[in-house]
Structure 1
Amino acid sequence: MFERFTTDAREVVVEAQAHARRLGHDYIGCEHLLLALASIEGQIATVLHGLGATPAALEAAVQQLIGTPDAALDREALAAIGIDLDAVREKVEANFGPRALAPTLRPRRRWWGRRAACDATPRYGHIPFTPRAAKCLQTSLGEAVALGHRHIGMEHIALALTTMTDGIAPQLLFATGSSPARLRTAILNRHRQAS
C-alpha cells in the first residue's frame, strides 16, 4: 500500500511521527496524522485552516484531551489531595498565556553521559501506529479508489480521517470548531473544482 503513497502522503507519515515524538507520545495516532496534515503547506492545510483546525489549535486540543504521558496519574494524584488540575491550568493560562504549560525542551544525553544539545524528541527508535491510525491509512486506499485515483495522496488520508467515528480525530475537529462532515465536504468540493 505504501508504494502508492505520493511524496506528500509519505511526508504526512514522517511529520506525524515527528509530532508524536515532540509531544512525548510512544505511538502514532490519528491525532498525529491530523496535526501533520494541518502542518504541511498545501490544499489540505488550507482547508483545515479555513475550518479553524490550525496546527496550534489542534495541538492545544491534543494537550487538553490527551495531555502528556503520565498525565492521568498526575491528575489522579493531585485530585487525591484536593487540587483540580483543570482549574490550575485555566488560571496559569489566564495569567501567562495559552502556551504557558506547553512542553519545554529537555537535554538529550549521549550514551557516554555527556550532555548534548537540547532536543525535545528522541531521534531514534520505532514508533508504532495505533490500530485506528493503521486503519485510517488503509482506508485512504479505498478513498483513492472511490475517486478513481491510482495514487494515495494527502487528500485521501484526510478523507480517511473523516470516516473515523471513534477515537480522538473527530473530537479534535469538534474542539477546533469543525467536524468530520464539514472537512469531508470541503475536501470533496476542492477536488471537484480542480477536476
Structure 2
Amino acid sequence: MSELPFSDRREAGQALAKRLKDHANRDSLVLGLPRGGVPVAAEVARALNASLDVMVVRKLGVPGHEEFAMGAIASGDVTVLDEPLIRRLGITEKRLQEVIDKERRELARRERSYRGERPYPQFQGRQVILVDDGIATGSTMRAAIQAVRRLGVESCILAVPVAPPDTLNALAADVDEVICVEAPEDFRAVGRWYLDFGQTSDEEVRQCLAEWFESDDGLGAS
C-alpha cells in the first residue's frame, strides 16, 4: 500500500525510520540536508537511537533559471558539476565561478547559523545515514555523499522518503545502501508528494539540532 502523499516532513521521517529499523542502536550518524531534510532526519535519528547533525549542501542554479541545478557544493570544499549541461548551455567559466562563490558564502553562513561553535562530530569509521525530504536530480545528494566519503566514513546509506527511480539508480553506485519509502515513476517534483511542503526555516533547523545537542543523546563532540 502506498504511503504517498505524506502529510508533512515529520510523517515522512517516521515512515523512513521504519524502513531503517535494522540500523537501530548501531551508533549511526544521521545527517540531514538543510533545510527540509533536517526535520525528516530528526525523526529518523530519534527512532534509531542515533546521533543527529547536518551536512550543508548548496545547489548551483543555472543563471536565470536557478531552480535547475547545474551542480552543487557541500561542506568539506566539495564541488559537483554537471559538465555536459554547463557546456550545452554555454555557461562561461567566469559566470560559473560567480555562482559558486555566491553559494559558498551562503554555505558558510548556514554552517555558522546551524552549528555556532559546536564541533563537528566524529566521521572516521562510522556509519552515516544521509537524509533529505526527497531527491529530484540528485546533484545535492551526490555532493553530500562525496563530502562524507572524504571524511572517512565506514559506510554511507542514502535514505529519503521519495525520489524518482532513475535518480536512485544513478546514486546507488556511490553508496552502500539506498533506502526509499516511495519511488513513483511519475515523479515531477518532491513537493508533489507532500500535503504540507511549506519551506523549513533556519530557526526550525536550529531547533531540531538544539534538541539533540542539549540532550544526553545529542552527539556533542563524540
Structure number with higher helix proportion: 1
Give the alignment's TM-score, normalised by structure 2: 0.25
Structure number with higher strand proportion: 2
Give the alignment's TM-score, normalised by structure 1: 0.27
Greater length-normalized contact order (CA 8 Å, ≥ 6 residues apart): 1
